[in-house]
Amino acid sequence: MQRRVLPGFGLSLGYTLVYLSLLILLPLSGLAFKASSLSFDQFWDIATGERALASYRVTFGASLAAAAINGVFGLVVAWMLVRYPFPGKRFVDALVDLPFALPTAVAGITLATLYAGNGWIGRHLEAFGWKVAYTPYGIVVALTFIGLPFVVRTLQPVIEDIEPEIEEAAASLGASRLQTFVRVLLPAIFPALLTGVTLAFSRAVGEYGSVIFIAGNMPLISEITPLLIISKLEQYDVVGATALAIVMLVLSFILLLAVNTLQWWAANRHKATSGEAR
């Protein structure tokens, strides 16, 4: 008889359901219950107001842009950290985790200072007519900063498992570097890359602290939905804030479901391709 260190399936499942209910299901149920005090017309008016729609576009648009940027450069950083030895590698590796440890408000103030018109970086960008701080571009910068570790840390163990001999075999068969990456490496790392991008996107959608200092928070231009929710709470409009939170929850769930479906399809396709190759 196999001895299990952790409790059996029944007890473990019970602990899991209770834990998830207390942390996730109960708060979400309270959110839905609070929003149920609104009629459909009232809910629709709040959820589709001009200011609300503009905040959705800014929040999800900036989050998608930041996740896409991290998908490209996070892959480069992860590949460099895994495959190449260089002086200061441990320092660079630790630097990747800085957004995890740094308070988001500190990150926001630092980025706003750097990218302001008189900042070290902002002054040079504005010389070319590109203003970053207090615009939607500043939001993308902040969300890219806080999302990078999710992509890098997700990709690193996958890249470590890829044997360098695979690349050498592809090169010996006449494949170029681009062909090796697209046809050999990318299928192997794509599910992990998609996971990292999804985590970065999820983190960015709900980000507040690092954004408000660099965004400018101008309604219809650079106002994110979390800030609009906070504004309604400060006005004691709890029901209106709840309605916006429900919309954010539904949209985020739909997007995550779509990405997870794509990730499942990519993983199954990679397994099928690997099986045929064998």
The answer as to whether 96 is a domain residue is: no
Q: Is 195 a domain residue?
A: yes
In a domain, 222, yes or no: yes
Q: Name the strand (E) or helix (H) holding 111.
A: helix 104-115
Match 């990150």 to its residue by tokens.
107
> Range of 225's domain?
49-83+110-277
pLDDT score, position 154 = 93
- Nearest 5°: the CA angle 210, 29, 249 is 40
Q: What is the dihedral of CA 263, 267, 270, 272, to 10 degrees?
A: -130
* 89 within a domain of the structure (yes/no): no
pLDDT of amino acid 260:
78
- Give the count of domains, the chain: 1
Closest CA to 112 of 175, 10, 104: 104
What was the pLDDT predicted at 5? 64
CATH of the domain at 251: 1.10.3720.10
The pLDDT, as a whole number, for residue 66 is: 96
Rounded CA separation 74/150 (Å) = 9
pLDDT along the chain (278 residues), means of 10: 65 85 84 84 91 94 95 94 90 91 89 90 88 92 94 93 83 83 86 90 90 90 92 90 90 83 74 61
Nearest-CA neighbor of 153 among 192, 126, 118?
A: 192
Euclidean distance between CA atoms 220 and 11, whole angstroms: 51
What is the C-alpha to C-alpha distance for residues 30 and 173, in angstroms, rounded to an integer? 60
Q: Would residue 103 count as lying in a domain?
A: no
Please tell me the predicted confidence (pLDDT) of residue 175: 81
| pLDDT at residue 3 in the model | 63
Cα–Cα distances in angstroms (integers) from residue 181 to residues 41, 130, 166, 238, in the given order: 52, 34, 11, 51
CA nearest to 99, candidates 153, 157, 50, 60 = 153
pLDDT for the residue numbered 4? 65
Does 38 fall in a domain?
no
Domain assignment present for 91: no
Q: Which residues, including other chains, have CB under 8 Å from residue 51's CB and lie 6 or more apart?
A: 219, 220, 223, 228
Domain membership flag for residue 7: no
